[in-house]
Amino acid sequence: MQFGLFGAATAARGGGPDVDSAAGFKDYIDYLIEAEALGFHSSFIVEHHFTGFGQVSATLNLLTWIGAKTRTLRLGTAVIVLPWHNPVLLAEQAATIDLLSGGRLDFGIGKGYRHNEFASFRIPMEEAEARFEESIDLITRSWTSNERFSFHGKYWQFDDIIVEPPTNQKPHPPFWQGAGHPHSIARVASRGHNLLVDQFCPIEVAAERVASYKSEMEKSGFAYDPSMAAVARAFYVARDEADKDAAIERRLVAQRRLTAISQRPDGNNTASIMAFSDTRAASEASAMYGSPDQIAHKLETLRDSGVEYVLLNGGGTSRDNLRRFAREVMPAFRTEPALRAAG
């Protein structure tokens, strides 16, 4: 199996000269530098806005800094929400990271699901899918066209452009899409894009989504490789059952706070990520919390169902948690090529 990280840094609001708002970002960067040394393959970073508790908003800016501080770590976005961005400017910024990092960008994209973000940007959630699909077409063309072109869509129009700089990866950095509903997974596969499965759905649901993606990829005429589907999971290597239960409670408190700002006023947010996000039973069924043996058992279940790429969210930057997973859990699941590369 292959292991990456998934999550976000936080920045505190300045309340005076003694407050270092960048401290959380700096700590997260140091955390990823150590993760690379411990053999983790990648780090996927979120994009969120207007939370009031300092989640990453300028994802590509942070990834540029991380790329300069690391050598082999894949630099992922999970996800850039396309409906909020000028797609040509985004294509240029992402290409710059890919070029400077030597081809390490994994371009994770999504439609978005938090109501407060769409409301604050004054973009109707009902337009999200159409904006998303139009942006994918434009970004793909921007990265693959060596000649000037014009684009006249419903939401974006450009005349006589050529996007610079070129990407390092050819024909372009891999697209990763977050998806959970069957029709969304089929759409991801129809483009030959990679799949991101959210951290909240139970293991059996994650396995079903990966199996559906594999089937849809083959229907669309694409060769399927297990490294093209990544399943996000929260993780915590607990000292005992009480420590495990306390960690689950902390996770639920944080998630309920996020659910409150994500839900629509009518309570009808149908995004797949919302389905399992705020119940204890779902957390126990999805999160990799517990002793090394308990975590290994869940990983074995994922592996036996065909999942070979897991993105871990530690809910913070605990070095003890990171090191214990790397030393007490990960070795039993690493492939020989991965071990040689890490060595």
Q: Which H or E run contains 158?
A: strand 157-161
CA-to-CA distance for 198 and 47, rounded, in angstroms?
14
CATH class of the structural domain 2-342: alpha beta
- Between CA 171 and CA 144 the distance in angstroms is 6
Pairing relationship of beta strands 80-81 and 105-110 according to DSSP bridges: parallel
Can you give the pLDDT at residue 273?
A: 66
C-alpha closest to that of 275 among 198, 215, 207? 198
Query: Residue 343: pLDDT band by 50, 70, 90 thresholds?
Result: very low
Segment 190-224, tens digit of pLDDT: 999 999 999 989 999 999 999 999 999 999 999 99
Q: At what angle do helices 182-190 and 203-219 cross, to 10 degrees?
A: 40
pLDDT for the residue 279: 62
Residue 83 near residue 123, CB atoms below 8 Å: yes
The whole-chain average pLDDT of the chain stands at 92
Going by pLDDT thresholds of 50, 70 and 90, the confidence category of residue 234 is very high
Q: First-to-last CA distance in the chain?
A: 16
Query: CA nearest 104: which of 36, 189, 30?
Result: 36
Q: Which of 65-79, 185-199, 275-289 has the lowest mean pLDDT?
A: 275-289
pLDDT of residue 338: 43
Residues 6+ apart with CB under 8 A from 31: 317, 319, 322
Torsions phi, psi for 214 (to 5 deg): -60, -45
277-281's contacts with Cβ under 8 Å and 24+ in sequence apart are 277/200, 278/252, 280/248, 280/252
Q: Per residue in 108-137, pLDDT tens? A: 999 999 899 999 999 999 999 999 999 999
pLDDT of residue 277: 62
Looking at residue 268, its pLDDT comes to 76
